[in-house]
Chain A
Amino acid sequence: MVELAWLIPAAPLIGFVLILVVGRRLGEPLAGWLAFGAIGVSFLATVAVFAGLLAEEPGERFYVQTLFEWVPAGSFSVNAGLLADPLSITMSLFITGVGALIHLYSIGYMHGDPDFSKFFLYLNLFAGSMLVLVLGDNMLMTFLGWEGVGACSYLLISFWFTDAANASAGKKAFVTNRVGDFGFMLAMFLVFYEIGSIDYGTILSSAPELGSGVATTIVLLLLLGAVGKSAQLPLYVWLPDAMAGPTPVSALIHAATMVTSGVYLLTRMNPVLAVADGWATDTVAWIGVLTAFFAATIALAQNDIKKVLAYSTVSQLGYMFLAVGVGAYVPAIFHMVTHAFFKALLFLGSGSVIHGLDDEQDMRRMGGLAKLMPITAMTFIVGWLAIAGVPPFSGFWSKDEILLYAWNENVALWAIGLVTALLTAFYMTRQVILTFFGRTRYFDPTAEEITAAFDARLDLSEAAARQAQDELVAAHAGVEKAVADVDKRTEAVEIAATKLNDAKAALAAVSAEDDAHTKLAKALEKAEKAVPRAGENLSKAQGSVAEANAEVDRTSERLAEAEVAFRALGARRADLPLPATHVTAASVPPEVGDLADDLPASFDERQEYHPHESPWTMTLPLLVLAGAAAVAGGLNLPFTKDLHFLEHWLEPSLFGNETKLMVSSAGKWGLALIAIMSAVGAIGAATAVYLKGRIAPARIERPALARAWYVDETYARVAGGPGRSGFELAALFDRRVIDGFVNGVASAAGSIGGSLRSTQTGYVRNSALGIVIGSVGVVLWFLSRLWTS
């Protein structure tokens, strides 16, 4: 049965090729079922190989299958070969098992996506690469898978490529991983140089003869590779960003499988670690435990449901590194398996929530979903209990083992590990409460909506003020017009007076007997009448000036009022009744009052939305994983030696390098008790904060934590600042100095010669011509000598 080993990676790769050729034509959902079938076959093949190995004596459980010679070059030769042993088959079992479930889940999750078949194309390629990684019988095969999964991760993170953030996240993941690959490659070169082969058989059997210095260097180089792939300090930054990919990808690649590759690699090379100086493995342990703690603090303050899980993954991987560093390989793999179950479960659960809540990822907008998505909630809770370390759920057993070995090595490692466990229970409790309990905050008006409503009102008020201002301007114009009228009327009065005087003078100049006298008298009479009329008009005009002025007063008063109102409203913007930044289950909806009428359409549309449980393709994997997460502790129960199934099974792959525990039975019970108490205590504390609202969450969710200790910003600033300018400088150097060198010399020479222009353009030509002429001369000389000799 072990002969089926080739089929394990081949099945998903065949699936990949089939989907590549006919995927588009198959479309949804057939392409998904094809991919699922491929990984399913792979799972069955793994089970067959597993059974085959079990049938062997423990000491004989190695099966090497050489497919063909891959890269032969001189003394270097590497086969495309597979190694089925307890370690690789353990990995393959959960990769194909969890992988198959996630393929099934994806059929539901990716429903309706225009690139449905492409998603499964990548997913199958990923699975194939991951299996090559763990099953490869030499470092180069592992590296093939290692880079293959990296490329798939890149393709899947930037799957929704139209969003610039997703594209950047994919690139960041690939490039950060390449930093680690640099270490992996050098490790391979050094192994080849020292041992003469990079086949695991040769490496593992000759490792005991390695010098400790060489072994130390190899371990540190492998560690660099592992730190990149498994997202440890300081190269973890890509993993939280990788959440940009579809959620099944986060579950499969960025939680359950690919990111554990670093742990696998270090475990696979355990005979080399055994020879290395103590400080090399100490470095592994310390990087692990510090990453575990560091990432857990960040997880406390994340609001994105997937970001919490991402930092949690970084943290849990840190535990595995801690385990490897203290020589606790079995607990490392044990935790890897339980983590694959419960973290895949948690991610898929979060995906189900996101799916059922119209792509909402902010936990502050969730709450109370237990009623709306009962299966998702129930399975998520199992995952929570597992990761929080509550017995008898699986996470407790594996994490407890790691802490036990840490205690065995160094109390400080144990203490930090324990605090991390406490933080883990705390932030996971927070997540469960915020997501599934309390009031459903999804329907609350959002900050954007409230602000929009308010801004609409503010716009109205501003419009009123503007209208008052317009009216004031009009009133001022009225005054001006009235004043002009007064001027005109005053003039008319003067004219009338002048006319009267003229008429009087004219009348006085002629005698009464004159014929003109009557006429002039009539004119005088007329002029006399005109004077009071003009006076009347004037006073009327003066009256309308007063009226216009009064209008100005009235409108400016109205404007002042409108402005006061506008300002007053504007001032309220600062203290709008927005939803709380730090939310608990007890948080009340924002008191929007009369603003409710102005809320935008998105609010009303949301009220019509019904958060729903996911289809069976998604809930079935949740149920299976929940079952596994609940009972996987049974793989390696600590009570009696007979219950250490995983330890016995993995023994051959560890070549006796597993650390021997020096802890008494009472000590073990004591440590377990402390772990249980701290988990329960942390759950209690988180309940007090997030369910009861006893303590303000803002006191825990500090800005420094929310912004991940500013590490990403600092990296970005260095890369975008000095890094970028350094590169630009090199390009400038290339243009100006290297390319401009010849021309520069020419221009210097030219300015001396005074004919700058012609030499500058012609210099390259001249110098080339010079070389050619000179060369021809030399050649002719040689030839002539040759001829005569």
Chain B
Amino acid sequence: MFAAEAAEAVSFPLLPALVLVPLLTAAVIGLMPAERDDYARIIALVGSTITGALSIYLLADFQTADGGFQFVVERDWIADLGLSLRLGVDGISLFLVVMTGVLFPIGILATSADHDAKPYHLWIMVLMAGSIGVFMALDLLLFFMFFEIVLVPMYFLIGSWGHGDRVRAALKFFLYTMAGSALMLVGIVAVVFLTNQHTGTVTFDIRELASAQALTTNEARVVLLVFALAFAVKVPLFPLHTWLPDAHTEAPTVGSVILAGVMLKLGTYGFLRFGLYLFPQAAHDLAPVFLTLGVIGIMYGAIVATVQRDLKRLIAYSSIAHLGFIILGLFALNSQGIQGAVLQMVNHGISTGALFILAGWIYERRHTREIAALKGLQKAAPVMAGVFTLVMLSSIGLPGLNGFVGEFLILLGAFSGARWWGIVATSGVILAALYLLWAYQRVFHGTPDQDNAVMPDLRLSEFLSILPLLGLIVFLGVYPKPVLDRMEPAVDELITHIEANVDDFVEPEPAPVVEQDQRDLLVEALHEAEEKAEAAGEEGE
């Protein structure tokens, strides 16, 4: 089911456009004379907004019930090597694409470069092209290419527009992820090579490789571990996470937003596509390892976040905890867990992106991220405090807001699929409340001193720029159905694929209940109880 019809139905190549528009925008910015760099921001805004609009058009045109890849575009590239340009989205990658498309224009709008606006926006647009591409690539080498492309702009964004020890942080980021990418390249080539050894065909097409399942058990495990190392750096999983707090803290706001919102998802998305999809048996066998690392991430990230003194560092560690949930959900290997994980990828992008934007605004005003130096901001900036509260509650996972639905489904899935990990992870919800509320208390509550008392509140333009995220926080919390409905067929297909390729594996979930009218059930239960009571009464007599 590749739904090629769906792709043909579109009058113009939507998926390539999603990559090309930001790339063209970058080129336009690059060709602009340097002295007009005040236009760079506007061009970037227009370009990213067009891309965002295209991604929403994609969403609107997506066939809900179809679990396969849609809008597929294939062009031969190096036919001898089985290399093609293959792009497509399914219900899983769709929302990552849309989230990326939405987050970029907001990130650009909500922040600005303090110097050299031209290269700054140029790099952001390159980053956007790579980030969207990576979620749409159906070809291993193409995936790798996009995966690598995003490193460069992020390296420069942190290194040139960051704060404090930015060069060191940028280098650390680059080296960690570069090492991971190198391993991934080994993994990619190994998969193709080994498949070729067993089947004789050469292909980089993810779909073909997944359906071939040609590797022996041990080969698959080794290759999966190689991939896992690469993705674990990206997620990041404990103990490969220490580049993240540095990178997040020193990055400019837009860098932190994209890093947390989009780039970390490359890791979890990789686990899903390459772990679960390419190597279901190995993923199933190694699941306890990843479940454990995920749960460690949840607890450890939260604990370390609690005692951070720097606001952005705290949010960075909270990301580690949130991403731990995603790993937990993926390796629960059932539809609740995986749907929850994908939803959480999107929700984390929204909430943490918004948190970083807010932290950036505080930094702009107070020139510090030191929690101890901030106090009582709610007095001076009630609107900002209100926005922060909403975003914080979303991040804590309050039902009715977006963060909850994903987290709940993950934990529900984990409880069925990996019970003890699920139970430990559930206790993570206590810690999440602790670190965020404590931070909020120290930053916004109390009586402000001199500097904090005169901090300006949000400007209307700022409020409007974050408003879409606030809207999504509420909407996805109250009505996640449109997202879940589009995701479900793809996740079902993935699970069917896992079930088909893993020995003796059945999706761990409870027996289905017969749909019955709730009222009838209650009335019936009452009648039964009454009958029982009567019977007991007669016996008594």
Contact = CB atoms under 8 A, between A and B. Distances in A.
26 contacts: A60-B523, A62-B518, A76-B335, A76-B412, A144-B400, A158-B441, A161-B376, A161-B379, A162-B446, A175-B430, A185-B411, A186-B426, A189-B415, A189-B426, A200-B522, A201-B521, A201-B522, A205-B525, A205-B528, A655-B525, A727-B306, A741-B239, A765-B171, A775-B185, A782-B186, A786-B189
Interface centre among A71, A143, A657 (most CB of B within 10 A): A71
B325 interface: no
Contacts of B444: 161
B253 to A, nearest CB: 24
B518 A81 contact: yes
A74 B339 contact: yes
Contact of B481 (A64, A68, A727, A767): A68
Contacts of A161: 376, 378-379, 444-446
Interface residues of A, number: 93
A613 interface: no
A147 B398 CA distance: 6
A767 B190 CA distance: 22
Contacts of A783: 189
Interface in B475-509: 478-481, 484-485, 488, 491-492, 509
A637 B408 CA distance: 44
B519 A731 contact: no
Nearest to B507: A74
A194 B491 CA distance: 23
B340 A73 contact: yes
A87 to B, nearest CB: 11
Interface stretch (A164-172, A247-255, A344-352, A707-715): A164-172
Contacts of B445: 158, 161-162, 164, 166-167
Interface in B405-429: 405, 408-409, 411-412, 415-416, 422-423, 426-427, 429
A713 B446 CA distance: 22
Interface stretch (B56-64, B67-75, B174-182, B264-272): B174-182
Given A59-B523, A74-B492, A189-B412, A151 B481 contact: no
A201 B518 contact: yes
Contacts of A525: none
Interface string B250-264: 000000000000000
Interface centre among B176, B445, B524 (most CB of A within 10 A): B445
Interface residues on B, range: 35 or more
B512 A196 contact: yes
Interface stretch (B115-123, B128-136, B431-439): B431-439
A75 B520 CA distance: 21
Contact of B437 (A80, A174, A179, A181): A174
Interface string B185-211: 110011011001100001000000000
Interface in A291-318: none
A162 B382 CA distance: 12
A193 B422 CA distance: 13
Interface in A772-789: 772, 774-776, 778-779, 782-783, 785-786, 789
Interface stretch (B10-18, B30-38, B45-53, B529-537): B529-537
A63 interface: yes
Given A148-B399, A162-B445, A171-B441, A789 B179 contact: no
Contacts of A85: 522
A69 interface: yes
Interface of B: 81, 171-172, 175-176, 178-179, 182-183, 185-186, 189-190, 192-193, 196-197, 202, 238-239, 241-242, 300, 303-304, 306-308, 334-336, 339-340, 376, 378-379, 389, 393, 398-400, 404-405, 408-409, 411-412, 415-416, 422-423, 426-427, 429-430, 433-434, 437-438, 441, 444-447, 478-481, 484-485, 488, 491-492, 509-513, 516-530, 532-533
Contacts of B441: 158, 167-168, 170-171
A170 B378 CA distance: 15
Contacts of B192: 782, 786
A194 B529 CA distance: 21
Contact of A731 (B186, B304, B399, B446): B304
Contacts of B517: 64, 201
A764 to B, nearest CB: 6
Contacts of A179: 430
A193 B530 contact: no
A154 interface: yes
Given A62-B523, A71-B480, A181-B429, A779 B186 contact: yes
Given A74-B336, A738-B242, A174 B433 contact: yes
A652 B526 contact: yes
A768 B233 CA distance: 12
Interface in A66-118: 68-76, 80-81, 83, 85
B375 to A, nearest CB: 10
Nearest to A80: B478
Contact of A205 (B81, B400, B522): B522
A202 B307 contact: no
A190 interface: yes
A182 B299 CA distance: 14
A656 B202 CA distance: 69
B511 A731 contact: no
Contacts of B196: 786, 789
B176 A73 contact: no
Contact of A202 (B178, B241, B513): B513
B304 A734 contact: yes
Contacts of A789: 196-197
A167 B509 contact: no
Contact of B175 (A76, A158, A167, A768): A768
A209 B422 CA distance: 25
A474 interface: no
A199 interface: yes
Contact of A72 (B193, B488, B512): B488
Interface in A696-733: 724, 726-728, 730-731
B206 to A, nearest CB: 18
Contact of A776 (B182, B339, B423, B484): B182
Contacts of B336: 73-74, 76
A547 interface: no
B99 to A, nearest CB: 19
Contacts of B307: 724, 727-728, 730-731
B399 A64 contact: no
A154 B438 CA distance: 12
B185 A186 contact: no
Interface in A173-207: 174-175, 178-179, 181-182, 185-186, 188-190, 192-197, 199-202, 204-205
A85 B393 CA distance: 32
B479 A68 contact: yes
A175 B409 contact: no
Contacts of A71: 405, 408-409, 480-481, 484
Interface string A671-688: 000000000000000000
B80 to A, nearest CB: 9
Contacts of B171: 765
Contact of A189 (B197, B308, B411, B430): B411
Interface string A215-237: 00000000000000000000000
Contacts of B185: 775-776, 779
A652 B429 CA distance: 36
A771 B183 contact: yes
A775 B186 contact: yes
B510 A175 contact: no
A140 interface: yes
Given A200-B518, A778-B186, A185 B335 contact: no
9 closest A-B pairs by beta carbon, nearest first, are: A74-B335, A201-B518, A775-B182, A167-B445, A189-B415, A205-B525, A201-B521, A656-B529, A768-B175
A13 to B, nearest CB: 10
Given A185-B429, A186-B415, A771-B183, A655 B437 contact: no
